[in-house]
Amino acid sequence: MWFAGGVVAGTALGWLTAPRRGDWVRNQISQKARHWRRIGRIRLVKRGRDLENRLRGSVSQVRQAWTGHEHYVDANTLVDQVHTELGRRFSGSLAHVNLNAHGHTVYLHGYVESDAERNRLIDAVAAVDGVDAVAAAELRVAPPPAAPLPPPSEHALGGNLETP
């Protein structure tokens, strides 16, 4: 076994140090070594970045759990969440109501049909997770619809509508 290993090592050493063919072999080995070193460095950098990002995320989650602060939700996301929660129950009312948010306060603008519907809408918006307050000063109760106007008469339009 030792003898076979020595023969292989001697052959490899002789091949690498040969004057003519050795140049090409040494060049190939050098190029392959540089290539694999570069590939290894790239993989090491990528894995290091991945590990760093995972570590930062874990530290952030631990800090958030430790401090007890709620997750921040921006105003647009909060309005979308309110629309999602109330969409089916208040689809008729939400067509005439505009929702805006600043911080965790939702502002309601527009009109509803009755006081009871206004109160139900305000309570439902306040029950959505993430909403701290509801400002509904601009949410009005619509007046009852007026009686429809009668169709205009022939004399009011200025004469006969029939063609001669």
For position 67, what pLDDT does the model report? 80
For position 45, what pLDDT does the model report? 96
Structure tokens at 121: 């809408």
Percent residues over pLDDT 90 in the chain:
21
- Cβ burial 21-59 (10 Å sphere, 16+ → b, else e): eeeeeeeeeeeeeeeeeeeeeeeeeeeeeeeeeeeeeee
Rounded distance, CA 82 to CA 99, Å? 9
Look at the pTM and tell me if it is higher than 0.75: no
For position 84, what pLDDT does the model report? 87
Residues (pLDDT < 70) of the chain are 19-20, 22, 69-71, 144-150, 152-164
Q: Where are the domains of the chain?
A: 1-69, 75-141
For position 35, what pLDDT does the model report? 95
**Which of the listed CATH numbers 1.20.1250.20, 3.30.1340.30, 3.20.20.70, 1.10.3720.10 matches domain 75-141?**
3.30.1340.30
Could you give the C-alpha distances from 76 to 66, 80, 96, 99, 106, in angstroms and in order? 27, 6, 19, 10, 10
Query: Mean pLDDT for the chain?
Result: 82
Distance, CA of 70 to chain centre: 18
- What type of residue is 64? Q
Strand order, beta sheet including 105-112: 97-102, 105-112, 133-141
